[in-house]
């Protein structure tokens, strides 16, 4: 039996303020004449930037290519003059969705899309309903109705992400289905949100120079964790005795 697995997520990824814009960045190749040989052309990569101003432009159905970079940008800038934002990065193979002509499809219309960005509304707080398990043929609400081509320019935005994959049971699923290679999900990654890598301010960071003993607590506090952490159990040494 085949198991199409889909999980829908609602993410409020407003970047610092309630006014945000959806920005797509990608790379295209532009032909230019080679300076040393004008009769030949070079392909020069060029960064493109497009503001997706309406909901219909941010509804990416299953199988439709996503921009390589898509992020929600706020109206504030960082120290470098770039809009502070959060990038939506999806790690998910393409799943499958039921035929659009199915009587059940309208209740599950959120599964049509891998990503949709809409305006935040209190009445649009979820993409499905628990009552559909009893009557999926007459849905009280449908996610597809959320996408009505409203403007997204300078609005409070939310992102709807679908992580999906197709699982066909096989012998190696017995007795447990492995997790390696079956991971799906998405990340909200800071994109020009900070002025630099925020991890440099981590209190757990360690810096030592050549000639210093990295095993000394005064130089490398991480080396002293077993002595400082009282919650670490005193376990006996482990020895492998074969099968």
pLDDT tens track for 67-87: 999 999 998 999 999 999 999
- Structural domain count, the chain: 1
Task: Please state, in angstroms and rounded to a whole number, the distance separating the CA atoms of residues 229 and 88.
Answer: 37
Ranking 23-32, 123-132, 229-238 by mean pLDDT, the lowest is 229-238
Task: Please state, in angstroms and rounded to a whole number, the distance separating the CA atoms of residues 111 and 7.
Answer: 8
Domain that holds residue 39: 2-204
Mean confidence (pLDDT) of the chain:
84
- Would 141 be classed as within a structural domain? yes
pLDDT for 207 beyond 80 = no
Higher-confidence residue of 202 and 56: namely 56
- Would 37 be classed as within a structural domain? yes
Among residues 74, 62, 147, 50, the alpha carbon closest in space to that of 99 is found at 62
- Would 185 be classed as within a structural domain? yes
Q: What is the pLDDT of residue 41?
A: 95
For residues 92 and 184, the answer to whether their CB atoms sit within 8 Å is yes
Kindly state the tokens that stand for 37: 């040989």
For residues 111 and 8, the answer to whether their CB atoms sit within 8 Å is yes
- Would 228 be classed as within a structural domain? no
Among residues 86, 144, 72, the alpha carbon closest in space to that of 113 is found at 144
- Would 222 be classed as within a structural domain? no
Q: CATH number for the domain including 180? A: 2.70.98.20
- Would 96 be classed as within a structural domain? yes
pLDDT tens-digit profile of 129-186? Answer: 888 888 889 888 888 999 999 999 999 999 999 888 888 888 888 888 887 777 788 8
Q: What is the pLDDT of residue 1?
A: 46
Q: What is the pLDDT of residue 163?
A: 86
Task: Please state, in angstroms and rounded to a whole number, the distance separating the CA atoms of residues 61 and 25.
Answer: 18
Identify which of 3-17, 135-149, 217-231 has the greatest average pLDDT: 135-149
- Would 68 be classed as within a structural domain? yes
Neighbours of 157 (CB within 10 A): 23
Higher-confidence residue of 42 and 222: namely 42
Average pLDDT on 91-118 reads: 87
pLDDT for 223 beyond 60 = yes
- Would 242 be classed as within a structural domain? no
């Amino acid at each position: 039996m085949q198991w199409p697995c889909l999980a829908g997520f609602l993410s409020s990824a407003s970047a610092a303020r309630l006014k945000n814009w959806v920005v797509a960045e990608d790379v295209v190749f532009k032909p230019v004449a080679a300076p040393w040989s004008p009769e030949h052309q070079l392909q020069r990569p060029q960064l493109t930037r497009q503001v997706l101003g309406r909901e219909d432009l941010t509804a990416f159905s299953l199988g439709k290519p996503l921009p390589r970079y898509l992020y929600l940008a706020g109206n504030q800038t960082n120290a470098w003059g770039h809009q502070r934002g959060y990038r939506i990065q999806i790690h998910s193979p393409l799943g499958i969705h039921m035929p659009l002509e199915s009587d059940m499809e309208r209740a599950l219309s959120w599964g049509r899309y891998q990503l949709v960005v809409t305006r935040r509304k209190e009445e649009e707080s979820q993409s499905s309903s628990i009552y559909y398990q009893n009557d999926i043929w007459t849905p009280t609400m449908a996610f597809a109705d959320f996408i009505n081509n409203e403007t997204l320019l300078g609005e409070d935005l939310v992102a709807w992400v679908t992580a999906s994959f197709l699982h066909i049971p096989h012998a190696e699923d017995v007795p447990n289905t492995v997790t390696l290679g079956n991971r799906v999900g998405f990340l909200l990654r800071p994109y020009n949100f900070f002025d630099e890598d925020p991890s440099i301010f981590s209190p757990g960071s360690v810096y030592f120079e050549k000639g210093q003993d990295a095993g000394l607590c005064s130089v490398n506090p991480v080396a002293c964790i077993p002595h400082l952490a009282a919650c670490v159990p005193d376990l006996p040494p482990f020895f492998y005795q074969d099968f």
